[in-house]
Amino acid sequence: MTTRTILCGLMLTAIGAGGRVQGQAPQPAAPVQPPITFRAEINYVEVDARVLDAQGKFVPGLTAGDFQVIEDGKPQQVTAFSLVNIPVERPERPLFASKPIEPDVRTNLQGAGGRIYLIVLDDLHTSALRSNRTKVAARQFIEKYIGSNDLAAVVYTGGRTDAAQDFTTNQRLLLQAVDKFMGRKLRSSTMNKVDDYFRNAGTPNAGSKPVDLDDKERGFMARNALETIRNLAQYLGNIRGRRKALVMFSEGIDYDINNVFENTDATLVMDTTREVIAAATRANVAVYGVDPRGLTSAGDDLIEVQSFPDDTSVGLGTGSLFNEVRTAQDSLRVLSEETGGFAVVNRNDFANAFQRIVDDNSAYYVMGYYSTNDRRDGRFRKIEVKLNNQPGLVVRARKGYVAPRGRAPEAKPATANSASPELRDAMESPLPLPGLPLGMTAVVFKGPAPKGSVVISTLVNGSTLPFTESAGMFKNDLEVMAVATDEKGKTTYGDRNTVNLNMKPDSANRVRATGFRVIQSIDLAPGRYQLRVAVREGNTRKAGSVTFDLEVPDFAKSPLSMSGLAITSAMSGAAPTVRPKDPLEKLLPGPLSSYREFVPLDEIALFAEVYDTIKQAHKVEIAATVKAEGGQTVFQTREERDSSERGGGAGGYGFTARVPLKGMAPGLYVLRVEATARVGDRDTTAQELVFRVLPMPAAQQ
């Protein structure tokens, strides 16, 4: 094709504009944030501090010399210092779209410059009848206060893996996890005792002290919720360079730890609370307890009570119900205040509190030091952060931390033929690891029944890839691995591939300009997955990982369904590519691309499959359209297919199209492929993706 020949000639001059490792449109320049790192040094301590003026506004511009960090009265040498000042970004969407269209490309730079939120839904301590209040409050926080540059996860204290959501920037998935919430809180202890009192009236047990028959289960649920928070704090412990916010939506733990004689698990619950605070302070995790009941007076429980005992000596009345509410809210206050956060209780309007959580996690100073006290004695270490010669300013920082106890954990031994330690660390890190910048897309096609075939295209940023030169050749080795984890925590490993780069100077320069691409595939059963790809280069042993939220449909269950959209372009094909396993190699004119930014002289090629299980003879219309930001159609093509092409089975129709970008103005565009069955209810299926046309490079204008 003549157009393609012209484009190939322009590749290397224009690729600087179109070859960036990113999946979204460029954003206005934002302050560069210090990188998130994953460090496991035993005696490394990190503390963040907010400095406020008399009006309560954050004060930027301070340096390490303006601070003193004192631990147990002894000055500490700050070895790491940075200012974190994170803007709140909102997702970009075309003007005609009612909501943002989810990007089909992920990078490990997305979220790396944002806040880190762990949303904990305490289903064990929320009444089923008040579940909706929790969902409303959590949805409000996600929709209005989490930015598109933030990473967030949703976890249930009851251990529901089918409803949880791992760290993502995808708002829809976070809301989906919240919408599955259902409280499981036990009936009030006071009401159980009232029932026991009247049940024993007139029996030989009359006059005995009423008991809560749910006491053991209540204690178990309290410990289970606390242990979940402790484990989450430990999980986040190796993330350095950011404040971690654990936002806990809960009515509070209503187990009275002060009554050790009647409540058999009081001591255990008290000890577990201490363990939670110790783990959170060590990991620099701030807890924000949010009581979704708002202003409460135990009225919901009072409605159920017909009468209280006349015998005041048993201590059962409205006062005991109020004490339960107070005990539960005090548990939120203790967990929050002791870890550097704050509790949100007795409030109907959460807006100010949610904004304060955002402010707390948006602007602060991070200081790291190696404690002069490296004893693993499990004792509390008091931290003071002071300012030098800065009158009128207030410093807010956590009060201290609890030192670890016992022997330090041993490093995991390497096994024969296993992944390198750096690749394992990248795969196991709590968040995508940005040490080696990566961009990745994944497209699901019908695979061996009932599985889907997931084709993965990973692009390594070539400008950060170091080479060693020997005899005029430029060398490095890439170790690449993909793994998929389903909602139950089951892991499916793809092949681990080693790519030996041994290139001439012109090829090395092309890699530096365009990046290096690896295409692989993995077969997965229908379900929700988090797909993770890790890459490690051999010269400096740097590694990076990137995650992708993936849903593999059961194509056989729908009358009409569609694969994902696989696209490539002439210029994106300039990036050197290896294909250890590529089912699309003969179906696309170039390698599956994660580029979503193109210059006007480029041309997009797409491939998709439409799957049809309708039994009677019929035709299927497949159309591809491209719309500009204002909604005007700038490209369209359509074709008609006959069900006889399936060969009598539930097969698919392959659909291809070429989209020339010449003449398209710079801006956002939406590519949509839609299929409609011309029979019965006229079933329809569609897929969309967003791309951007960049201004023409000055050299080509």
Domains of the chain, residue spans: 2-26+419-700, 43-86+363-402, 110-360
CATH number of 2-26+419-700: 2.60.40.10
| CATH T-level fold of 110-360 | Rossmann fold (3.40.50)
* Predicted pLDDT of residue 189: 87
CA-wise closest residue to 21 among 593, 503, 479: 593
Whether residue 414 contacts residue 425, with contact meaning beta carbons closer than 8 Å, is answered with no
- What integer pLDDT is reported at residue 3 of this predicted model? 31
| Residues whose CB is less than 8 angstroms from the CB of residue 249 and which lie 6 or more positions away in sequence, other chains included | 119, 120, 121, 122, 126, 134, 137, 138, 290, 292
Model pLDDT, residue 374: 86
Residue carrying the six token digits 């200081």 = 367
For residues 43-53, average pLDDT: 91
For 43-86+363-402, give the CATH class: mainly beta
Gap between the Cα atoms of 263 and 290, Å rounded: 26
pLDDT confidence band for 404 (50 / 70 / 90): confident
Poorest-confidence range of 379-393, 420-434, 616-630? 420-434
Token pair for 82:
């940075």
Lowest mean pLDDT among 96-100, 386-390, 453-457: 96-100
Please check the confidence at residue 59 and state whether its pLDDT lies above 80.
yes
Longest dimension (CA), the chain: 100
- Length of the chain in terms of residues written: 701
Please, which pLDDT band fits residue 698 given cuts at 50, 70 and 90?
A: low
Contact 305, 255 (CB under 8 A): no
Name which of 18-32, 531-545, 615-629 the model is least confident about: 18-32
Bridge-based pairing state of the strands 684-693 and 597-598:
parallel
Residue 31 clears pLDDT 90, i.e. is over it: no
Res 26: pLDDT: 34
- Average the pLDDT over 613-627 and give the result: 94
Share of the chain above pLDDT 70, in %: 88
Q: What is the pLDDT of residue 413?
A: 57
pLDDT the model gives residue 652: 83
15 vs 196, more confident: 196
Please indicate whether residue 537 or residue 697 has the higher confidence score (pLDDT). 537
- Distances 512 to 212, 502, 654, 687 between C-alpha atoms, Å: 69, 14, 35, 33
Work out the pLDDT band at 7, boundaries 50, 70, 90.
very low
Q: What is the pLDDT of residues 464-484, one digit of tens each?
A: 999 999 999 999 999 999 999
Q: Given a cut of 90, is residue 429 above it in pLDDT? A: no
**Alpha-carbon gap, residue 47 to 62, rounded angstroms:** 16
The residues facing 628 across adjacent strands are 669
The predicted pLDDT at position 699 comes to: 58
| Residue-averaged pLDDT of the chain | 87
Overall average pLDDT of the 546-562 stretch:
93
Chain Cα centroid distance, residue 302: 40
Contacts of 189 (CB under 8 A, 6+ apart): 212, 214, 215, 218, 254, 256, 324
Tokens standing for residue 203: 């029996």
The answer to whether residue 8 scores a pLDDT higher than 80 is no
Indicate the range of 327-331, 335-339, 626-630, 694-698 predicted with least confidence: 694-698
Chain mean position to CA 581: 28
pLDDT of residue 348: 87
pTM of this structure: 0.85
Of the pLDDT bands very low, low, confident and very high (cuts 50, 70, 90), residue 195 is confident
Tell me: the pLDDT tens digits for 567-597?
999 888 889 999 988 999 999 999 999 999 9
Question: Residue 680 — very low, low, confident or very high, per pLDDT cuts 50/70/90?
Answer: confident
Q: Which residue has the higher pLDDT, 451 or 260?
A: 451
Please determine whether the domains at 2-26+419-700 and 43-86+363-402 fall in the same fold group of CATH. yes
Residue 38 banded pLDDT, cuts 50, 70, 90: low
Task: Give the strands of the sheet with 74-75, arranged side by side.
Answer: 74-75, 67-71, 380-387, 400-402
